[in-house]
Chain A
């Protein structure tokens, strides 16, 4: 271009992989997780028990399944607050089908399909009509659960076939549950999707600059629509697991879970404003939340008080690094 005879060599990277990992949010979070684990194992003699630990995973597996899809959605700059309501609707649909004699395969298919349809409904409003996802999903949050209430009122469905209980109550081997297996499989799928594929790259690009991504030839609306579908589908999967585990459906099922899912995602280091975050981070956050709930539970701390801890954790993990940076800046000045 100019009269430079030798082209300047630009290195690929300045920091080695090890340095980047060490400095990452995930490393910090992992340290927190290990600390909680250690503290818990000292605090309660019942903590380090394979069966207890196995039971404890139910605290997070279903939420985490949704959280993985939600992580991608939030990275792309959108959000879905209707996930818990999708569970309610999907579970209600399964209950209805069960009353009409559907077997386990049909029930699963119906649960997943309803999830997918709900995701598509959100996706159409957000991508086709161009409405803000936070408002749309606050609306569908009421709508989906509202339909459950219309169908069930204050009643409930129960009496699911015994083979259906495999998803939420079954074990693969020793203490390893079916849900754990699902959790691992889904985590791997989403990690690969986000970090190793063109689709994942598009998600990051959209989250950082949707206009720039569009102007770079990315089909932004299509990607977002798929993300809503995936989140709906994962809610369907969670609905199958939760319904199977509880063995019954009430319209209030999974209420408030959307906020726990978002908390898990944000705790996992995903920027609520979009553009950054990783699946390993969400995995660790899932364990942190699970361990906290479990550990405090062993100490007979009621669930609602644990939520104080989760709330503090959510704000603290974001606030502390910022306070630290502010203090550092003041010291330098």
Chain B
């Protein structure tokens, strides 16, 4: 009955462990539970976004607009908070998710109804969303003293030893675990990416599935937008600039095939954690944080080379002698 942990995830998991052990050998404090919790909390936004991106990539698309979506939603809720400090946090969160979802839906419609390649669509909406932030904010910052205490306090509030931000990431991971494995939508995502032609024959609407994948990714970006702005207590045009590539990187390192159909929740989470650990470990072991970019670049190259090797389709074995030795 039990399915073994897939090799990809096991290898990535061990790589992270080895990394942590290496860092701990230089600085034992790194593995203190409180520090590990900090690392996790720091990585939470990346985990959440990587899960959304995973769904999109699995359906053979890509969403480059997540960081811009995050920034726009973040700015919007920050400004709403400034204008209406009394608005309760659940409403703020609902607005953020809704706004993000709508932006995702715009991407989705363009891909679904107009069949424009996703990379073009999200490249376009990425610049548009960023531009809109400037329009609504007039290029000004929303600073922490302008935000309400409830607004900035929510993601940092500690619950059962972990900040709410971490808990949201954990809940998202669990939700996605169930969604991908146990719901019709989750399985359709694999089907659409794995064999779109066959998906049509089994009654799955490929374009519609891709649309919903974008909505999911957008909604998570919106949610993260609020969390990000609240946690760092500042909103401006360029927040999370270039973060979309880090999100894609987390997916690639996590073994999600850019060609669609192959990947797992575990992979995406581990990919994000890997990047998070690297980022937090560098200062601890006295390596300049400027190494981070090059390290994550190398990790992407190694991961994609490794996945291509392990995923190579076996050729047909025709010779009996060859079959015997297999």
Contact = CB atoms under 8 A, between A and B. Distances in A.
Interface in B238-286: 242, 245, 248-249, 252, 258-259
A31 interface: no
B127 A305 contact: no
A250 B121 CA distance: 31
Contacts of A130: 308
A263 B119 CA distance: 10
B131 A142 contact: no
Interface in B98-145: 110, 114-117, 119-121, 123-128, 130-135, 139
Contacts of A319: 110, 114, 116
A142 B121 contact: no
Interface in B211-246: 237, 242, 245
A160 interface: no
B131 to A, nearest CB: 3
Given A273-B117, A319-B114, A311 B294 contact: no
Nearest to B304: A135
A309 B242 CA distance: 20
A315 B305 contact: no
B128 A143 contact: no
A259 B126 contact: yes
B245 A138 contact: yes
Contacts of B124: 263, 311-312, 314-315
A261 to B, nearest CB: 11
Contacts, number: 143
A318 B110 CA distance: 10
Task: Give the interface size bracket for A toward B.
Answer: 35 or more
A278 interface: no
A6 B125 CA distance: 58
Contacts of B297: 139-146
Contacts of A262: 123
A154 B289 CA distance: 11
A135 B308 CA distance: 11
B148 interface: no
A110 B124 CA distance: 34
Contacts of A312: 124, 128
A327 B76 CA distance: 35
A302 B139 contact: yes
A44 interface: no
Given A130-B308, A138-B249, A146-B297, A272 B126 contact: no
Interface string A119-163: 000000100011110111011111111110110111000000000
A146 B291 contact: yes
Contacts of A125: 301, 305
Q: Chain A CB within 10 Å — which of B126, B299, B301 has the most?
A: B301
Contact of A139 (B114, B133, B301, B308): B301
Contact of B293 (A142, A305, A314): A142
Given A135-B252, A307-B131, A146 B116 contact: no
B164 to A, nearest CB: 31
Contact of B248 (A136, A138, A153, A315): A138
Task: Give the interface size bracket for B toward A.
Answer: 35 or more
B305 A129 contact: yes
A130 B305 CA distance: 9
Q: At the interface, is chain A mostly helix, strand, loop or mixed?
A: helix
B301 A302 contact: no
A63 to B, nearest CB: 14
B172 interface: no
B110 A315 contact: yes
Contact of A304 (B237, B245, B296): B237
Nearest to B133: A304
Given A255-B242, A311-B125, A145 B305 contact: no
A322 B113 CA distance: 10
Given A129-B305, A150-B288, A311 B116 contact: no
Contacts of B125: 311, 315
A150 B133 CA distance: 32
A131 B305 contact: yes
B131 A304 contact: yes
B309 to A, nearest CB: 9
A266 interface: yes
B295 interface: yes
B271 to A, nearest CB: 13
Nearest to A320: B114
A308 B294 contact: no
Contacts of A251: 290
B123 A305 contact: no
Contacts of B245: 138, 141-142
Interface string A233-268: 000000000000000000100011001001100100
Given A305-B131, A305-B135, A319-B114, A314 B300 contact: no
A132 to B, nearest CB: 5
Given A139-B297, A153-B288, A153-B290, A322 B115 contact: yes
Contacts of B133: 304
A134 B291 contact: no
A187 interface: no
A150 B123 CA distance: 28
Contacts of B299: 139
16 contacts: A132-B258, A136-B301, A138-B245, A138-B248, A139-B249, A139-B252, A142-B294, A145-B297, A146-B293, A149-B290, A153-B288, A259-B123, A262-B123, A304-B131, A315-B124, A318-B114
Interface of B: 62, 64, 110, 114-117, 119-121, 123-128, 130-135, 139, 237, 242, 245, 248-249, 252, 258-259, 288, 290-301, 304-305, 308
Given A145-B297, A259-B127, A304-B134, 4 more contacts: A142-B300, A143-B298, A149-B294, A322-B116
Closest 3 CB pairs of A and B: A146-B294, A142-B297, A143-B297
